[in-house]
Chains A and B, each alone.
Chain A
Amino acid sequence: MKAPDFDYARPSSLQEALALLAAGEGGAQPLAGGQSLMPMLNFRISTPEMLVDLSGLPELRGLEQTPQGLRIGAMTRYCELEAFPDLAKIQPLVAAALPHIAHDAIRNRGTIGGSVALADPAAEMPAILLALGAVISLDGPNGPRDVAADDYFLGYYETACEPDELITSILLPKIEPGDSFGFHELVQRHGDYAMAGVAIRSSGIAPLAGLRIGFFGVADRALRVTALEDALNGTDGTDIAGALSHLSEIDFQGDTKITAETRAHYAGVALKRALKEMLT
């Protein structure tokens, strides 16, 4: 398959990029690393009239430690995040999850902002942002605005980012002393999209407290189940059978790989394993 016909532009400033998106009236599609968009174009799942390549915008690149946390420019590539000094200390959850995100050749091109903008329901990054309580900074014709990760992922490839807006950066809040993290995903082959996975932040370990659990690869989007978090808060996380009953709130999706029932089971398995790793 070949991509549908499209025009290509590589603006050199954010302002120019936003103007191109606005002029496209919904037909212009931002192009970040292209690692998901290229196959979608070639399968003709996505049929934009114009691609706006964001690789020429230096203001969207780079990583910065701020008093609030780690600010990641939207066009920062996975390999750049991986190589950030002391990442395992600054953001242990991200460091633990990165090697599960595809393979080196993909991480050399794929961007953090691209992943979050696309919001593939089986991608790791959206769930990580939910677990960390990240903030997504957008810019558009009506000016810049911040959206909490909890309010960002709306549905199947659907987010709070409007077609004429761009993600400029993502803030991962600073971790606090006593914070604990867990990550587990079930995949057919290491590096594949998950059949089910979880990213966990807890502000205590015995007992668990202030839990934020991002599920991915389960439904139409990365999501949290607050009733499940509430059921686990204050416990030692070893007997989770009762809490698991709240997984029924998720509208599990089946696909060509596995049924919705199997996926529901896997979500519980991923959660159990992640908690077990956290507690040992």
Chain B
Amino acid sequence: MQTHLTINGTQRRLDLDPRTTLLDALRHHLGLTGSKKGCDHGQCGACTVMVNGRRINACLTLACMHDGDEVTTIEGIGQPDDLSPLQQAFVSEDGFQCGYCTPGQICSATAMLQEISDGWPSHVTSDLAGEAELTSDEISERMSGNLCRCSAYPNIVQAIHKAAGKNA
């Protein structure tokens, strides 16, 4: 069936079987293989992309459900010659080992920093009325949907701290 998506700012028209997940549409039909398939059922976060600014698991949604939506993948966040602050920080802070979870981590962190600046509290935010401080606990809690089997977590947290400082 016909689905229109805006992917990283470019309008794309797809003719897909309705069963096609957004993740398979990105990887197989559009050649955007940055988003990774880890568990394929919402447990690992490797496929995290942003839809209309919100982070979601691309494996848990059908492409046809997003007709007219704006999708941002890791390819839209930065490119090798033009890295986003978070991508630079993941490199400089050694925020990965094998790198498989990294695109999902960076998409998730990009949306997460926006959520904090929009004033969304989390489970560990102590002052619900005030601004959430970007503590390591806050980062860990908010990034808890993104697994890293190499367990690069300390460096991922460090990279997010560094990138957030740069943005501030």
Other-chain residue from A38, A39, A190 in contact with B144 (beta carbon distance below 8 A): A190
Selected A-B contacts with CB under 8 Å, 5 pairs: A4-B19, A51-B62, A53-B65, A83-B120, A99-B122
Query: Which one of A100-108, A149-157, A212-220, A253-261 is at the interface?
Result: A100-108
B120:A34 contact, CB within 8 angstroms: no
> A105 with B45: in contact, given A38-B59, A38-B62, A53-B65 (CB under 8 Å)?
yes
Other-chain residue from B1, B57, B123 in contact with A8 (beta carbon distance below 8 A): B1
Q: Which of B42-73 contact A (CB under 8 A)?
A: 42, 45, 48, 54-57, 59-62, 64-65, 67
Residues on B facing A (Cβ under 8 Å): 1, 17-19, 21, 40-42, 45, 48, 54-57, 59-62, 64-65, 67, 108, 111-112, 115, 120, 122-123, 128, 141-142, 144-145
> A104 with B142: in contact, given A35-B60, A38-B61 (CB under 8 Å)?
yes
Complex Cα–Cα for A34 and B120 (A):
23
B14 → A minimal CB distance (Å)? 14
B19:A104 contact, CB within 8 angstroms: no
Q: Digitize A182-215: 1 where CB-to-B-CB distance is under 8 Å, 0 elsewhere.
A: 0000000111000000000000000000000000
Complex Cα–Cα for A62 and B40 (A):
30
Please indicate the chain B residues that have their CB under 8 angstroms from the CB of A10 in the complex. 64-65, 67
A79 at the interface (CB under 8 A from B): yes
A35:B42 contact, CB within 8 angstroms: yes
> A103 with B144: in contact, given A38-B21, A38-B42 (CB under 8 Å)?
yes
Please indicate the chain B residues that have their CB under 8 angstroms from the CB of A273 in the complex. none
A104:B55 contact, CB within 8 angstroms: yes
B28 → A minimal CB distance (Å)? 12
B19:A102 contact, CB within 8 angstroms: no
> A39 with B18: in contact, given A55-B65, A79-B54, A108-B54 (CB under 8 Å)?
no
A5:B19 contact, CB within 8 angstroms: yes
Other-chain residue from A4, A51, A108 in contact with B56 (beta carbon distance below 8 A): A108
Most chain A beta carbons < 10 A, residue from B18, B45, B60, B64: B60
